[in-house]
Amino acid sequence: MPNSDHIRNKLSQVPHKPGVYLMKDRLGTVIYVGKARDLRKRVSQYFHPSRRQGWDLKLNALVESIHDLDWHVVKSEPESLLLEGRLIKDFKPRFNIDFKDDKRFLLLKIHIDDPIPRFTLTRLRKDDGAQYFGPFAHSGALRRTLTMVRRKFHLRGCRAMTPTEADYKHCLYGNLKHCTAPCVGNISQEDYRMQVRAAVEFLAGQTEEMKERLEAEMQKASANLDFETAAELRDALEDLKRTTQRTEKFERIPYTLPVAIRPEDDLRELAEKLGLPNPPKRIEGFDISNISGTFVVSSMVSFWQGRPDRSQYRRFRMKTVVGQNDFASMAETVRRRYSRLKKEATTTSLTPVEIEADVDDVGEVEKAVGSPVKLPDLILIDGGKGQLNAAVGELDKLGLSHIPVLGLAKEFEEIYRPGLGDPLRWSLDSGALKLLQRVRDESHRFANTYNAQLRLKRISESILDEFPGIGDSRKQALLKKFGSVERLRRATPEAIAEVSGFGGEMAGRLVEFLRVRSAASSNNPAKLTTINTPKSEAA
């Protein structure tokens, strides 16, 4: 077992408590995340000789790669599941399979200010004036509890934004008397909102009366030998406890980039292999990120003395490139980056407006004002000959051809240099190559993170998904005509009715829907509730 003394010492410190553990390799990269009811027992199992002698090749490879481990103690098993999912999405460990997609845990959502509010399930939290409960580790328990809540408080389960008498004719909830049917005037909308508020308080934790009643009915059914009913009540009680149990809300974990054990040695080796007069103190790496030509962005990361210098990171959205063209995108990024640096070198400082013309991250604009950065000692391009030549061409135009430039192709870890036909291939154990890989991987991560943020922003800006009866084609037609949801809010019903797939009636309902949502957001700009956040944090 690699680094066995260190691992053995760490194992002696692991507590017998529920939590999440993280396995790391010798560079500090998280390679596996797991959860456990008992951390000490679970983590120790990985290093039992009997386990390592088995035929599980993946387990053996994982154990051979472990050089360090960390753990986080939580209160309960559901908390460990939530935290495990959060960490896997943050670190994307190569030995994990589950939770690597973009699927999230379920949330329960309600807009109290809607004409006839209804509870809905969602996986994306938005700042839209709604109240949210969750996330929930057990989706099945949540769905069954929501059904119980609807029956207890006589709430609707139909999808219509504002149900009418026509909807009531086919409404199962109304016909079974599970809903008080405000849509046909059986109860006023204000009285119905009182029912909804009572349900909100119930989901916020005021469930003792319901738990006691279910417990009493279960004991009574068991005494009468009605074990089937008792089992159903037992399951309902367990679902209720799971859904209303307070668990900690886990936010995004700060990303920790692995660093070399001896970065100075790696820099010296890199200088020797490249024939540089001195080890490169500052290395800047570039990468392009896009998905089918949408949200084409690029990143620039900066390493000082072999370590990441995050205060100098920059990110860009393409302004002149249309579609998916990595070569042109790389050329634009390099041109914008170093033309600004050249201008900065000839003036005392740039104004925020000048910097903002080249940098798309407002936070980075503030850092850049009044703190000029010197030209790098080495530039690393993520890609092969095409991306490298695009960058070199722009540097030549700027009179910066004296700066060493490399291209690192990921498939075979080949290193391309300007003017040389054959790429360099260094040993995978080379410290110099590992340094370049860290720069390349960090620029890739930074670019992908920016791309994901833009896509998430586009999704969160659109509330059309909540409007009943609208599909992708209609939504795209609206966005194509009006450009944004904000312009759509100002549109008249007549203008919306001109869009393909819309009529006058549906256009009117959409205008009313957007009016209600706008009023709710303006009246409650920060109205967010979660039963999974301790009161001290929620305050």
Residue 254 lies in a domain: no
What pLDDT does 53 receive? 59
Lowest mean pLDDT among 2-6, 33-37, 410-414: 2-6
What pLDDT does 293 receive? 56
What pLDDT does 333 receive? 92
Residue 258 lies in a domain: no
520 three-state secondary structure: helix
Residue 365 has pLDDT above 50, yes or no: no
**Are residues 477 and 501 in contact, defined by beta-carbon separation less than 8 angstroms?**
yes
Number of domains, the chain: 4
Lowest mean pLDDT among 3-17, 254-268, 275-289: 254-268
pLDDT digits (tens, 9 = 90+) for 475-496: 777 877 776 777 888 888 888 8
What pLDDT does 523 receive? 52
**Are residues 133 and 530 in contact, defined by beta-carbon separation less than 8 angstroms?**
yes
If asked whether residues 362 and 489 sit together in one domain, one would say no
What pLDDT does 255 receive? 45
Highest mean predicted confidence (pLDDT) among 106-110, 120-124, 296-300, 461-465 = 296-300
Quick one: pLDDT band at residue 394, thresholds 50, 70, 90? very high
| CA–CA dist 253, 79 (Å, integer) | 15
CATH number, position 75: 3.40.1440.10
pLDDT digits (tens, 9 = 90+) for 8-56: 888 888 899 888 998 888 777 888 898 888 998 888 888 877 665 556 6
If asked whether residues 463 and 446 sit together in one domain, one would say no
Structure tokens at 346: 């000839």
Structure tokens at 370: 């009044």
E strands of 324-423, at which residues? 378-382, 405-409, 414-416
Q: What is the mean pLDDT of residues 346-354?
A: 50
If asked whether residues 519 and 423 sit together in one domain, one would say no
Half-sphere exposure of 24 (CA within 13 A, CB side): 17
DSSP β-bridge partners for residue 285 = 301, 380
**Residue that is written with structure tokens 């490879």 in the block:** 61
Quick one: pLDDT band at residue 363, thresholds 50, 70, 90? very low
Strands 405-409 and 314-317, sheet pairing = unpaired
| CA–CA dist 327, 519 (Å, integer) | 46
Structure tokens at 127: 């700042």
| CA–CA dist 330, 441 (Å, integer) | 16
Lowest mean pLDDT among 229-238, 272-281, 422-431, 496-505: 229-238
- Determine the structural domain holding residue 214 and report its residue range: 106-248+529-538
If asked whether residues 223 and 267 sit together in one domain, one would say no
What pLDDT does 347 receive? 56
Structure tokens at 390: 């695009």
Residue 255 lies in a domain: no
pTM over 0.85: no
What pLDDT does 415 receive? 93
| CA–CA dist 379, 106 (Å, integer) | 44
If asked whether residues 404 and 332 sit together in one domain, one would say yes
**Residue that is written with structure tokens 């935290």 in the block:** 83
Q: What is the mean pLDDT of residues 252-262?
A: 52
**Are residues 282 and 302 in contact, defined by beta-carbon separation less than 8 angstroms?**
yes
Q: What is the mean pLDDT of residues 53-81?
A: 78
Rounded-to-10 torsion of CA 96, 101, 105, 109? 170
Q: What is the mean pLDDT of residues 163-169?
A: 72
Q: What is the mean pLDDT of the chain?
A: 76
What pLDDT does 277 receive? 92
pLDDT digits (tens, 9 = 90+) for 261-274: 578 889 999 999 99
Strands 405-409 and 378-382, sheet pairing = parallel
Quick one: pLDDT band at residue 7, thresholds 50, 70, 90? confident
131-136 β-sheet, strand order: 120-122, 106-110, 131-136
Q: Which of 405, 423, 453 is the last residue of a domain?
A: 453
Residue 115 lies in a domain: yes
462 or 279: which leads in pLDDT: 279
| CA–CA dist 226, 163 (Å, integer) | 40
Lowest mean pLDDT among 176-180, 263-267, 361-365: 361-365
Phi-psi region of 109 (alpha: psi -120 to 50; beta: other; left: phi over 0): beta
Q: What are phi and psi of 19, to 5 degrees?
A: 170, -165
What pLDDT does 436 receive? 92
CA 446 to chain centre: 13
Residue 251 has pLDDT above 90, yes or no: no
CATH number, position 417: 3.30.420.340
What pLDDT does 292 receive? 55
Q: Which of 91, 115, 141 is the last residue of a domain?
A: 91
